[in-house]
A and B are shown apart, each in its own frame.
Chain A
Amino acid sequence: MAGQTDPHISLFSPQEVEFMAEDELVEIVPNMNMEQLNFISGDFGRFIPQIPTKVPLWLAVALKRRGKCTFRPPGWMSVDNLTQILEAERESQSTFQALPFSYVEIARLLFDHARDDIPDMYMVRSLVEDIRDVRLHKLETNLGSFQGTSAVKISNVSAMEVNIVRPFVIRALEAFYKHDKPEADVDRDTRSSRQQREANNEPRRPLRQR
Chain B
Amino acid sequence: MKSRSLKLREAHKVGGSAAFCSILWDHKAEHFVTSSSSDPSISVHDGLSPSTLPPTILRHHQDGVTALALSNDSTFLASGSIDHCVKLYKFPSGEFQTIITRFTLPIRVLAFNGSGSLLAAAGDDEGIKLINTFDGSIVRVLKGHKGPVTGLDFHPNGELLASIDTTGTVLCWELQNGIVSFTLKGVAPDTGFNTSIVNIPRWSPDGRILAVPGLRNDVVMYDRFTGEKLFALRGDHLEAICYLSWAPNGKYIATSGLDKQVLLWDVDKKQDIDRQKFEERICCMAWKPNCNALSVIDTKGKYGIWESLVPSSMLSPTVGIPDILPKKRNEILNFDDEIEEELYGVSESLNDSLVDSDAGESHHTSRKRLRKKTLIDDDADAYEELNDGSSLPSASEYRKKSHRAHREKQGAKSGAFKSISASTRYKMQSPFQPGATPLEPGKRTFLCYNMLGCITTIEHEGNSRIETDFHDTGRGPRVSSMIDIYGFTMASINESGCVFANPCKGEKNMSVLMYRPFRSWASNSEWTMRFEGEEVKVVANGSGWVAAVTSLNLLRIFSEGGLQKHILSLDGPVVSAVGWKDHLAVVTHVSDCLPSNEQVMEFRVFNISKMTQELKGRVALTPGSRLTWIGFSDEGSLSSYDSEGVLRVFTSQYGGSWIPVFSTSKEKKQEENYWVVGLNTTSLYCIACKHPEIFPQVTPKPILTILDLSLPLASSDLGAASLENELMLKQLLLYETQRRVDDMALVGVDTTALEDEAFDLEVSQDKCILRLISSCCSSDSFVRASELMKLLTLEKSMRAAITLVTKLKLPFLAEKFSSILEERLLEEANEAITDPSENPNREVVTRVESKVQNPPASIQTSENTEAAVKSSATKLSATTLVRKAKVSEGLKLGKEQTKKDETEDAKIKEIKKLNLKNPVNNVNKEDKGQKKGVNQGEARRSSNPFLKSTV
Contacts from A to B (Cβ < 8 Å): 29, 31-33, 48-52, 67-68, 70, 72, 119
CB distance from B683 to the nearest CB of A (A): 10
A52 to B687, CA, bound (A): 12
A31 touches B471 (CB 8 A): yes
Most chain A CB within 10 A, of B473, B685, B700, is at B473
- Of B473, B700, B701, B704, which is within 8 A of A51 by CB? B704
A48 to B705, CA, bound (A): 11
Q: Which residues of A contact B703 (CB under 8 A)?
A: 29, 50-52, 72
CB distance from A50 to the nearest CB of B (A): 5
Most chain B CB within 10 A, of A29, A31, A67, is at A31
B838 at the interface (CB under 8 A from A): no
Give me 17 A-to-B residue pairs in the complex whose CB atoms sit less than 8 angstroms apart, sorted by A's number.
Answer: A32-B473, A32-B474, A32-B475, A33-B472, A33-B474, A48-B704, A49-B471, A49-B472, A49-B473, A50-B471, A50-B703, A51-B703, A51-B706, A52-B703, A67-B473, A68-B473, A119-B700
B residues 468-515 near A (Cβ < 8 Å) are 470-475
A119 to B699, CA, bound (A): 12
A105 to B700, CA, bound (A): 25
Instruction: Give me 6 other A-B pairs in contact (C-beta within 8 A), A33-B475, A119-B700 excluded.
Output: A29-B701, A31-B471, A32-B472, A49-B471, A49-B473, A72-B703
Q: Which residues of B contact A50 (CB under 8 A)?
A: 471, 701-704
Q: Which residues of A contact B704 (CB under 8 A)?
A: 48, 50-51
Q: A29-B703, A70-B701, A72-B703 are in contact. Are A51 and B685 (CB under 8 A)?
A: yes
Give the interface SS of chain B, mostly helix, strand, loop or mixed: loop
With CB as the reference atom, state the residue of chain B lying closest to A29.
B703
With CB as the reference atom, state the residue of chain B lying closest to A67.
B473
Q: Which residues of A contact B472 (CB under 8 A)?
A: 31-33, 49
Q: Which residues of A contact B702 (CB under 8 A)?
A: 50
CB distance from A175 to the nearest CB of B (A): 53
CB distance from B126 to the nearest CB of A (A): 49
With CB as the reference atom, state the residue of chain B lying closest to A47.
B472
- Tally of chain B residues near chain A (CB < 8 A): 13
With CB as the reference atom, state the residue of chain A lying closest to B452.
A49
CB distance from A117 to the nearest CB of B (A): 9
Q: Which residues of B contact A52 (CB under 8 A)?
A: 703
A70 to B700, CA, bound (A): 11
- Scan B658-691; emit 1 where CB is below 8 A from any A CB, else 0: 0000000000000000000000000001000000
Contacts from B to A (Cβ < 8 Å): 470-475, 685, 700-704, 706
Q: Which 7 A-B pairs have the closest CB atoms?
A: A49-B471, A32-B474, A49-B472, A31-B473, A50-B704, A50-B471, A51-B704
Q: Which residues of A contact B701 (CB under 8 A)?
A: 29, 50, 70
Q: Which residues of B contact A68 (CB under 8 A)?
A: 473-474
With CB as the reference atom, state the residue of chain B lying closest to A52.
B703
Q: Which residues of B contact A51 (CB under 8 A)?
A: 685, 703-704, 706
Give the interface SS of chain A, mostly helix, strand, loop or mixed: loop
With CB as the reference atom, state the residue of chain B lying closest to A49.
B471
CB distance from B571 to the nearest CB of A (A): 38
A68 to B475, CA, bound (A): 11
A49 to B703, CA, bound (A): 9
Q: Which residues of B contact A119 (CB under 8 A)?
A: 700
A52 to B706, CA, bound (A): 9
Q: Which residues of B contact A32 (CB under 8 A)?
A: 472-475
CB distance from A62 to the nearest CB of B (A): 15
A87 to B685, CA, bound (A): 40
With CB as the reference atom, state the residue of chain A lying closest to B677.
A50
A29 to B702, CA, bound (A): 10
A82 to B917, CA, bound (A): 75
Most chain B CB within 10 A, of A29, A32, A49, is at A49
A12 to B685, CA, bound (A): 45
A31 to B476, CA, bound (A): 10
Q: Which residues of B contact A70 (CB under 8 A)?
A: 701
Q: Which residues of B contact A67 (CB under 8 A)?
A: 473
With CB as the reference atom, state the residue of chain A lying closest to B687.
A50
With CB as the reference atom, state the residue of chain A lying closest to B453.
A49
CB distance from B221 to the nearest CB of A (A): 42
Q: Which residues of B contact A72 (CB under 8 A)?
A: 703
Most chain A CB within 10 A, of B470, B471, B475, B704, is at B471
CB distance from B592 to the nearest CB of A (A): 39
A206 to B733, CA, bound (A): 89
CB distance from B822 to the nearest CB of A (A): 44
A55 to B472, CA, bound (A): 18
B706 touches A31 (CB 8 A): no
CB distance from A131 to the nearest CB of B (A): 25
Q: Which residues of B contact A49 (CB under 8 A)?
A: 470-473
A52 to B471, CA, bound (A): 12
CB distance from B663 to the nearest CB of A (A): 22
Q: A50-B703, A70-B701 are in contact. Are A31 and B474 (CB under 8 A)?
A: yes
Q: Which residues of A contact B706 (CB under 8 A)?
A: 51
Q: Which residues of A contact B474 (CB under 8 A)?
A: 31-33, 68
CB distance from B651 to the nearest CB of A (A): 25
With CB as the reference atom, state the residue of chain B lying closest to A31.
B473
CB distance from A145 to the nearest CB of B (A): 46
With CB as the reference atom, state the residue of chain A lying closest to B449.
A50
A29 to B705, CA, bound (A): 11
A32 to B700, CA, bound (A): 18
CB distance from B563 to the nearest CB of A (A): 33
CB distance from B619 to the nearest CB of A (A): 28
A48 to B700, CA, bound (A): 18
CB distance from A72 to the nearest CB of B (A): 7
A204 to B703, CA, bound (A): 78
CB distance from A132 to the nearest CB of B (A): 27
With CB as the reference atom, state the residue of chain B lying closest to A68.
B474
With CB as the reference atom, state the residue of chain B lying closest to A72.
B703
A48 to B701, CA, bound (A): 15
With CB as the reference atom, state the residue of chain B lying closest to A117.
B700
A33 to B474, CA, bound (A): 8
Q: Which residues of A contact B475 (CB under 8 A)?
A: 32-33
Q: Which residues of A contact B700 (CB under 8 A)?
A: 119
A137 to B534, CA, bound (A): 74
A187 to B670, CA, bound (A): 70
A207 to B235, CA, bound (A): 113
A87 to B700, CA, bound (A): 29
With CB as the reference atom, state the residue of chain A lying closest to B685.
A51
With CB as the reference atom, state the residue of chain B lying closest to A70.
B701
A31 to B701, CA, bound (A): 11
A199 to B96, CA, bound (A): 72
Q: Which residues of B contact A29 (CB under 8 A)?
A: 701, 703
A119 to B701, CA, bound (A): 13
A114 to B775, CA, bound (A): 49
CB distance from B581 to the nearest CB of A (A): 19
A31 to B685, CA, bound (A): 15
With CB as the reference atom, state the residue of chain B lying closest to A33.
B472
CB distance from A60 to the nearest CB of B (A): 15
CB distance from B540 to the nearest CB of A (A): 22
CB distance from B437 to the nearest CB of A (A): 16
CB distance from B682 to the nearest CB of A (A): 14
A49 to B449, CA, bound (A): 13
A51 to B701, CA, bound (A): 11
A5 to B405, CA, bound (A): 86
Q: Which residues of A contact B470 (CB under 8 A)?
A: 49
CB distance from A135 to the nearest CB of B (A): 30
With CB as the reference atom, state the residue of chain A lying closest to B702.
A50
A152 to B850, CA, bound (A): 74
A33 to B472, CA, bound (A): 7
Q: Which residues of B contact A48 (CB under 8 A)?
A: 704
With CB as the reference atom, state the residue of chain A lying closest to B469.
A31
CB distance from B700 to the nearest CB of A (A): 8
With CB as the reference atom, state the residue of chain B lying closest to A69.
B473
Most chain A CB within 10 A, of B474, B700, B701, is at B474
Most chain B CB within 10 A, of A48, A67, A68, A119, is at A48
A70 to B703, CA, bound (A): 11
A119 to B472, CA, bound (A): 23
Q: Which residues of A contact B473 (CB under 8 A)?
A: 31-32, 49, 67-68
CB distance from B91 to the nearest CB of A (A): 23
